[in-house]
Structure 1
Amino acid sequence: MIGLVDANNFYVSCERVFQPKLEGRPVGVMSNNDGCVIARSTELKALDIPMGTPAFKLEGLRQRGEIHLLSSNYELYGDMSARLAQLLRDACPAVAPYSIDEMFVYLEGFTTAQCAALGQRLRQLIRRHLGLPVCVGLAPTHTLAKLANHLAKQDPRYQGVCLLNGQDHTTEALLKRTAVGSIWGVGHRLAERLAIGGVTTAWDLRESDKKQLRKGFSVVLARTALELRGTPCMEMNALEQPRQRIMTSRSFGQPTGVFAEVHNALRRHAQRSAEKLREQQSLARAVMVFLNTNRHRRDQLQYFPQALIPLPSPSDDTRVILDAVRQGLEQIYRPRYRFMKAGVMLLDLVDAEQHQLSLLHPPTRNRHPFLMATVDQINQRMGQGTISFGMTNAPAAWQLRCAHRSDRYTTRWDELMKVGTHPGATQACTSRTEPLP
């Protein structure tokens, strides 16, 4: 049996863990630079505020206190996601994170009753230890588990845990009323093509001929149909494959044409990309640097350059990558342009343990693996950016706007939650309790 544990309204729920006053209130989390709404509480959805609404259109509601808008706090969300994954690893035989708020758990050898009981226990543990509300979908396949999780969220009768056997009448009824476009991996355009052939529901897809699906569409869609029948076709390892490229990029808080500021932004992105590279135990053979002006400002000069810098040998050393970034920027920088976005991409990745050393670049004795490991450990423990290569000016133009960001409670010593009392609260508290003997 496979389970999918999905945190409800994850970004908003992370904020509410440390700000209980937001419980029951309309809350939205904004994108980078406080641009638009990318996460909504149930209460905000009830106000018919759609995803992607520009934040400036909601400023009146925010100022009147009718809604609460918060800047993205990805450091907090990432740490809460890591804690959720660790809790699941302690409670389940195997875990595969699928996204920041979704984790597959594998319950081989568990009976149906044991799976259902574990689903409820996981909800209680996560709520108690992390403060996050989650729903759990259980089924024989990944696709059905995804559908079961959706049902657990939508139907209160399941109390947050839905189990589908794959062959019973409950599963059949659910598939017959589920649009094919709602199935995991079936996009809008694919749903339109399927509808032409009369496949409009998940049940229609399940009953479709596998060979015809493979011939007319793809092997992936044929496997999806088998998964809907209760036949597992996805391996856990397929969900954990290392990325073939790693990219870090951000829009600037405001446009800038200053070389030093653009360089600082790229250095920040390069260091983060190098950390990701080491996390998946890979080496990069090349580094790409790119810049973008604001394509929406037709009154300004437009320029979208990129430079590819091959590395002397595959590396995960931040210093080597930073040197390549500097070379790339010097090639493409032009002082007359005002840039709005910059990014770094690590390409042609190879496994750090299996790559073949070049005879032209024999290994030299250096302590860079130990240095990089130490830097990563300190940054993981003390907060991202605690140790970095090079100085960065705090008020730099490239830094993101985040006027309404909450504190990074779990990763920054200087932003730990502070607990205190005021006279009114103390008096109210003592008036409701019996005096000590």
Structure 2
Amino acid sequence: MSSGASSSNVNTEGVMLFEQPFARVPFENYRKVFRTTQRQIEKDFSAIQATTSGLVERSKNGGADKEDAIQTIDAMITRVENLKRKLSDLNENVGTPTQAVMKERLEHLSVVEDAESQTTPEYQRWSDTRLDRWLIDWTLRTGRERTAKKLTAEKDIHTLVDVDMFMDIRRIELGLLNRSCTEALAWCNENKAALRKLKSTLEFDLRLQEYIELARLRQKSEAIGYLTKHISWNDAHAQQIKQAATLLAFSPDTNCVPYKRLYDPARWDSLVRAFRLAVYSLNSLPTEPLLNLALYAGLASLKLPSCYDASCKNIDCPVCDADLGVLAQEVPSSHHVISTIVCQISGKIMNENNPPMAFPNGYVYSREALEEMAAQHGGIVTCPRSHKSCTLQELRKVFVS
């Protein structure tokens, strides 16, 4: 197989590495539905078992008459019927849609495994859809919900993007920015087991902030009650709890650094970041938009120190672009085993078919570009940087070792 053919093969492993979060989000949602259902079943069955055990015990002791037993059994039947209805509603309203999303996403990914080449129409369509998904992911992460919804509707890929999840994130973040922990704490309660597994301190930080706000309002008795009820002693947070207990002795305008830091309103911004990081961790989402990660990978393979030299700009180089160049600053320079020389005039690579030619002053350009210049100016070529002119015959061929 020729090198051109092999380069068009689909790198399935590399593609799937990027697509892990794509399949993981609905999976985590389905796990949440399963855990909710499990807790509901266990709670109701425990109540039914307790009622049954109580009825049996009373029957043994002769303390339950026939009428009482019938009423107890009727209440148990009603409870079972209510449980059945709840589970049915849960499956129809949450479980079944989540299953459908998982199925469509897996079918979407199966195109990659079945594609024989990047040039096939199926893979091209898949790549276009992937770019749409990445653009929507970027808009959602940067607070452009209206644009995300419009693009989602236009491309009809509702099941392939996580608009609802990011809308919930945005709703809770707005609550935090408005100095309310209520919705964030409710989210923590829903994901308590997962957050504990991740050893997340988000719930503690939210509780501490609510206590700080009570202290800021100088509601000392309410603050003490809140501290006692919601912030239990933990060796990992011992220092913070001690400072919190002492905070009531300091006013919000204190200059004492540890307590001034606790009263700092910037803590709310930190809570927003901590909340988003917790959501990303729970859903195995990268902290950077997928579009940025893809760009980083490409820019890292192209970036050279000369890209930031004003005299060496190449119009065809993404790193030399003003906007992408800023993004490229965060990635390392590429490491080329074999050097590639690009002509500053034409932007084409100089190789054995288009060898480099040097002016007497040492500046080098491609033969194709210089021959085209000579044809337009009667055999005379001019160096764009030094503005020195000479005939085409005076140029020297350069051999790169």
TM-score by length of 2: 0.25
Higher helix proportion: 2
Q: Report which structure shows greater RCO (CA 8 Å, sep ≥6).
A: 1
Larger gyration radius, structure 1 or structure 2: 2
TM-score by length of 1: 0.23
